[in-house]
Structure 1
Amino acid sequence: MSAIEPQPESSELTTLRTSSLTSVVEKEIERMILGGTLKPGERLNEFQLANRFGMSRGPLREAMRSLNARGFVEVVRNRGVFVRQIPVEEALEIYDLRSAVFGLAGRLLADRLTDEMLVDLKSYLVRMDQLAEEQDFEAYYPLNLEFHAYLVTATGSKTLKREYQSFVDRLHLCRARTLVQANGLAVSNHEHREMVDALASGNVSRAHEAFFRHVQRAKLRFVSTLRDADIRRD
């Protein structure tokens, strides 16, 4: 009886393997950035990372592209990939601008809220409460972004949505570190619940204040992570 010849791996299976590997590497590099192993402004050496993870450069480059799109790294032409950094003063200014725009979103949405929207928002809260209790940052963070995007989109203002997103894109790393290092998951979702309660009340001023205050509190948590980092360096 002749031996069965091994069959070449299908293109679909190859794609699945590559996709899974890319996802694993992306999460590990994200963990290294959030944990401080990779510092803001540090160049990511593709050769060293490929050796570290025992992988080819193809999936690694895919992971880098995804991290760039999510705001964790930036690609500098003819220089390479660097951990994204933003001056503290600029970050604080963006937090203030974001709080103003987000406060306006609360005011506008309070006049547009429907029963269906309220059901959707409460569903977000339940899911994020569970993830916060489990301390599952990897699942919480994208759902948190989705929740905020839902709120802003529901205002019906395309201009507000565009401007708000520009601030979000520049603050990704600050927000992610704040949630991780300041134990902010449960605290953040408590504030989300205050926002939804304010919307449900139909009180426009209350909704504006709740949305504005949420971002200002996030700014304070960001400042606290900077102080903690200074203490650790001392």
Structure 2
Amino acid sequence: MSEQPKNWEVVLGELQREIVTGRRHPRERLVEDDVIARTGATRHAVRLAFAELEKVGLVTRARNKGVHVRDYSSREIEELYEIRECLECQAARRFARPAPPETIEALTDIAIRHRDASQSQRLGDVFELNDRFHETLYRAAGNRQLADAIRHYTFATQPIRTRAFASRDIRELAIDEHFEMINALTVGDTDRLCQIIARHIGRPKDFYLQANGIEDLAALA
């Protein structure tokens, strides 16, 4: 019995994982025929997946040039991270003082598993658990629309963030900062929480800029 063709959502998921984990590089072209041959999906399904990738900002499409993995200018990076810092600090300020015990317990459990995954070099789990930690944190802030906006911009910066996860030093700092966030929530220090968040999300940005030889506009200002 032949395998059923994959629908567009399955193709979308596979391409998303390839992009955000760095298997697909900035400016790399995504060729319809190659994806069809590899996945067994229909052309219609592949085009729908490409359209969704474009919608969430992971690829760009240019007339007569096809679809390419999104590249980032220094200005785009700075603007994306400015939005992220504004949104995430606003969420931090919404927490009750101190945060409820069930929130602390859930975040601590994820942070421990994230630390264990990093120490075991299970990078796929590191990515997934890191995202789960932050999504759990911002969902607990009590504004669903704000949490959705944070998730959108976090996803838009995923190719930037994942480059930094290859660095053991950055992973270890991220682990420490997760527990610092939990401590700040435990004592109800939302100003400190915002400071940790700003530092936490800024480090992968700086790593990406340096790794790609891109000048940091904020540093030059």
Q: Which band: TM-score by shorter chain?
A: 0.7 to 0.9
User: Do residues 74 (structure 1) and 59 (structure 2) align?
Assistant: yes
- For residue 95 of structure 1, what is the amino acid of its counterpart? Y
Moved more, 181-190 or 67-76: 67-76
How far, CA to CA, are the matches of 2:114 and 2:136 in structure 1?
A: 14
Residue 22 of structure 2: SS of its match in structure 1? helix
Q: In the alignment, does 2:99 pair up with 1:113?
A: yes
8 Å Cα contact 1:72/1:172 also seen in 2 = no
When residues 66 and 34 of structure 1 are mapped into structure 2, their CA distance, relative to the original with a 3 A threshold, is farther
User: 1:179 is matched with which residue?
Assistant: 165
Contact 2:98 2:185 survives alignment (8 Å)? no
Query: Does the 8 Å contact 2:6/2:40 carry over to 1?
Result: no
Cα distance 1:186–1:176, how it changes in 2: closer, same or farther (>3 A)?
Answer: same
Q: 1:196 to 1:179 in 2, by over 3 A?
A: same
Give the aligned residue type for 2:53.
N
Structure 1 SS opposite 2:91: helix
Deviates more, 1:178-187 or 1:152-161: 178-187
Deviations 1:57-115 (A, max 9, x none): 44993995699389684263876432122222211222122123212222222536111
Q: Is the 8 A contact 1:112 1:155 kept in 2?
A: no
| CA root-mean-square deviation | 3.7
Aligned residue-pair number:
209
In structure 1, what is the Cα distance between the partners aligned to 2:188 and 2:79?
A: 30
Q: How does 1:158-173 map onto structure 2 within 5 Å?
A: 158-173=144-159
**Counterparts of 1:182 and 1:130 in 2: how far apart (Å)?**
13
Q: How far off is 1:118 after superposition?
A: 0.7
Query: Could you give the per-residue CA deviations for residues 104-139 of structure 1, whole angstroms, max 9, x where no partner exists?
Result: 222222536111111100000111011111222222
Larger mean Cα displacement after TM superposition, 71-80 or 85-94: 71-80
CA deviation profile, 1:34-78 (whole Å, cap 9, x unmatched): 15xx44233212334556x5x634499399569938968426387
Q: Which residue of 2 aligns with 1:83?
A: 69
d(CA) in 1 for partners of 2:40, 2:70: 24
- CA distance in 1 between partners of 2:21 and 2:133 (Å): 24
For the residue of structure 2 that corresponds to 1:109, the secondary structure is coil
Among 30, 34, 40, the residue aligned to 1:56: 40
How far, CA to CA, are the matches of 2:34 and 2:204 in structure 1? 35
| Alignment of structure 1 residues 112-151 onto 2, 5 Å | 113-151=99-137
Q: Which has the higher helix share?
A: 1
CA contact (8 A) 2:98 2:188 kept: no
Q: Which residue number corresponds to residue 78 of structure 2?
A: 92
Give the 3-state SS of the residue equivalent to 2:68 in structure 1. strand
Gap regions ≥5 residues in structure 1 = 1-7, 229-234
